[in-house]
């Protein structure tokens, strides 16, 4: 009987933790799914609708390398 309790204890703890954090788990899954969908949509978009910078690729930085006021 003790072995059953010992085996069930980690499963119960896991279910409690999942139950307490279900909103974070769902939101992380939704963010991942939406990011994937947007990436696929951007890849399938015609070239005339794709935004490009003067250099041809977006580096993710501001033109002055992120330094403001210079």
Query: What are 7-62's pLDDT values in tens digits?
Result: 899 999 888 888 878 888 889 999 999 999 998 988 887 776 656 555 555 555 55
Q: How far apart are CA 31 and CA 21, in angstroms?
A: 16
- Please report how many Cα atoms fall inside a 13 Å half-sphere around the Cα of residue 39, on the Cβ side: 6
65 pLDDT above the threshold of 60: no
- Contact criterion met (CB below 8 Å) for 21 and 14: no
The answer to whether residue 35 is domain-embedded is yes
Instruction: Assess if residue 47 is contained within a domain.
Output: no
Distance (Å, whole) CA 24 – CA 40? 24
Domain span at 9: 2-41
Number of structural domains the chain divides into: 1
Q: What whole-number distance in Å separates Cα of residue 70 and Cα of residue 57?
A: 23
Q: Establish if 37 belongs to a structural domain.
A: yes
């Amino acid at each position: 009987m003790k072995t059953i309790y010992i085996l069930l204890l980690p499963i119960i703890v896991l279910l409690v933790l999942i139950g307490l954090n279900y909103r974070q788990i769902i939101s992380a899954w939704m963010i991942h799914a939406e990011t994937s969908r947007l990436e696929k949509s951007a890849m399938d978009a015609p070239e005339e609708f794709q935004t490009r910078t003067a250099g041809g690729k977006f580096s993710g930085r501001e033109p002055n390398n992120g330094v403001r006021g210079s």
